[in-house]
Amino acid sequence: MLACSVTLSRSAFSHNISLYRKLLGEKTKFAGIVKSNAYGHGLLETAGVVIEAGADLLGVNSLEEAVLLRKSFPKPTIMIMGSVPDLRPRLQELADSNFWVLVSRVEEMELLSQLSPAPKIHFKLDTGMSRLGESYLHWKEIATEIKNKKLPLAGLATHFASTEDFTEHSYSMFQLNRFQEGIELFRSFGFKDLICHCASSASAMLFPEARMDMVRVGISMYGLWPSLETKLSLSQMGKEFGMLRPALTWKTKIQHIQSLPSGAFVGYGSTYKTTYPTRLAVIPVGYYEGLDRKLSNHGYMLVHGERAKILGRICMNMTMIEITHIPDAKLNDEVIIIGRSGKEIITADDHALWTNTINYEVVTKILDRFPRTIVD
Ligand SMILES: *Cc1c(COP(=O)(O)O)cnc(C)c1O
């Protein structure tokens, strides 16, 4: 028996994508971002569903992810958003006219443009994230160099630093203005038909001007909000987006049951001590499988539609939960780690709150080797 399984709801994906479609003009492309094993949801499984649901293209971080995707999906456009370290020896792998590569340096453009077929090249303009891309101080030189060397430029991109973190968006507006100035600058050098894009989930929801030619949507395609601040911003602006539907359910089964007397210690470090006769279930999922160790003595799972508290420390491959109040629970019964059971639900946001992180990290950490099964 595998330790756990992940199921993906096809209808949740198409529902979440349709919420964006309602906002987007006909000319704005929807890029479904499937980097990092599709935020833990499973790269190939998610890609298939997302293409079916009508995404125009797929976005990944690395060349490895793009190559893996291409083996299963010969047709769709795949955008590589991260940098390709050590580009020169791997150049041939990028010879695909349906690859879009976001670059930060002209020398990368020179290498890529020699390929046949050559991928489409988008230049990253850093507008305030201070990560990939080039600072506005150098945009003029870069535009001049690209023009003089007659390099093919297909698009311009930037990335917002803090739309998710605030309900006051002056920094994002500053970045947006700077990006628009960059676009104008490149146009003034004669670059035409540039595909310009900057918005991820939150910015695409909040700022109509940021949708431009394409939005790059990750977290909310999976049915998770980029942040609470994003929800608050929407309501402050008097806007509605609609209900997102989480696509992922993470579940396992009861592996062992023990009945403990009052006064028994549970787990490493003996950090939990029963104060009454306690029925305890062991599940075969621990921090190796992607469960945060900060959930030790903190947080719940679901059994038979009831909350089952995590007792003691999360182990490497196991976790103990309380089932005293669920007398029907027996060996091999289903345990929901993230998802719904009866009237109860535990979300990636609950995990994020319990472990002081963001939902992005919670789902991305689910170990990739468990099967991802698509359900309707
Ligand atoms: C991950 C990523 C996105 C998607 O962000 P979400 O907040 O998950 O929608 C968009 N653009 C870039 C460059 C990214 O790295």
pLDDT at 1 over 80: no
d(CA 354, CA 292): 9
Tens digit of pLDDT for each residue in 77-117? Answer: 999 999 999 899 999 999 999 999 999 999 999 999 999 99
Average pLDDT over residues 234-258: 97
pLDDT > 70: percent of the chain: 100
Do 226 and 271 share a domain, yes or no?
no
Cα(261) to ligand 1 centroid in Å equals 50
Do 231 and 257 share a domain, yes or no?
no
> How many domains is the chain built from?
2
Contact 295, 348 (CB under 8 A): no
Do 155 and 80 share a domain, yes or no?
yes
Cα(159) to ligand 1 centroid in Å equals 8
Q: Is residue 319 part of a domain?
A: yes
Do 222 and 86 share a domain, yes or no?
yes
Which of 215, 236, 257 terminates a domain? The answer is 236
178 is in an annotated binding site: no
Identify the DSSP state of 267.
S
Which of the two residues, 86 and 257, has the higher pLDDT score?
257
Which of 236, 257, 284 terminates a domain? The answer is 236
pTM: 0.97
Residue 13: per-residue pLDDT: 98
d(CA 33, CA 31): 6
Average pLDDT over residues 129-153: 97
Least Cα distance to 247 among 29, 69, 42, 54 occurs for 42
Average pLDDT over residues 58-62: 98
- The pair of three-digit structure tokens given for residue 26, joined into one six-digit string: 């006909």
Which of 236, 269, 294 terminates a domain? The answer is 236
Catalytic-residue membership of 268: yes
pLDDT > 90: percent of the chain: 98
Residue 2: per-residue pLDDT: 80
d(CA 92, CA 237): 48
130 SS3 class: coil
CA distances from 172 to 11, 183, 220 (A): 32, 16, 19
Average pLDDT over residues 190-195: 97
d(CA 135, CA 159): 12
Do 210 and 271 share a domain, yes or no?
no
Do 210 and 316 share a domain, yes or no?
no
1 is in an annotated binding site: no
Q: Is residue 352 part of a domain?
A: no
Pocket perturbation via mutation, ligand 1, pick of 33, 126, 129 by most ligand atoms within 8 A of CB: 33
- The pair of three-digit structure tokens given for residue 36, joined into one six-digit string: 């990092």
Taken as a whole, the chain contains a residue count of 376
pLDDT at 147 over 80: yes
Do 25 and 104 share a domain, yes or no?
yes
Ligand 1 contact, 81 CB (< 6 A)? yes
Cα atoms found within 13 Å of the Cα of residue 241, Cβ hemisphere only: 29
Do 193 and 252 share a domain, yes or no?
no
Q: Is residue 367 part of a domain?
A: no
pLDDT at 38 over 70: yes
Q: What are phi and psi of 279, to 5 degrees?
A: -100, 130
DSSP string, 49-87: HHHHTT-SEEEESSHHHHHHHHHH-SSSEEEE-S--SST
Burial of residue 150 (number of CB atoms within 10 Å: 0-12, 13-18, 19+): exposed
pLDDT at 319 over 80: yes
Do 87 and 177 share a domain, yes or no?
yes
Q: Is residue 353 part of a domain?
A: no
The strand pairing partners of 159, in sequence order, are: none
Q: Is residue 268 part of a domain?
A: yes
Do 285 and 326 share a domain, yes or no?
yes
Q: Residue 305: which CATH number?
A: 2.40.37.10
Q: Is residue 192 part of a domain?
A: yes
Q: Is residue 61 part of a domain?
A: yes
d(CA 66, CA 57): 12
Tens digit of pLDDT for each residue in 150-164? Answer: 999 999 999 999 999
Q: Is residue 228 part of a domain?
A: yes
Q: Which domain holds residue 46?
A: 10-236
Tens digit of pLDDT for each residue in 278-318? Answer: 999 999 999 999 999 999 999 999 999 999 999 999 999 99
Cα(81) to ligand 1 centroid in Å equals 9
Q: What are phi and psi of 202, to 5 degrees?
A: -65, -50
State the average pLDDT for the chain: 97
Least Cα distance to 17 among 45, 41, 51, 43 occurs for 51
Do 292 and 170 share a domain, yes or no?
no
d(CA 69, CA 48): 10
Tens digit of pLDDT for each residue in 171-189? Answer: 999 999 999 999 999 999 9
- The pair of three-digit structure tokens given for residue 164, joined into one six-digit string: 């998710």
Average pLDDT over residues 270-276: 98
Of 29, 35, 124, 253, which is the active-site residue? 35
Ligand 1 contact, 253 CB (< 6 A)? no
Do 284 and 211 share a domain, yes or no?
no
The strand pairing partners of 306, in sequence order, are: 303
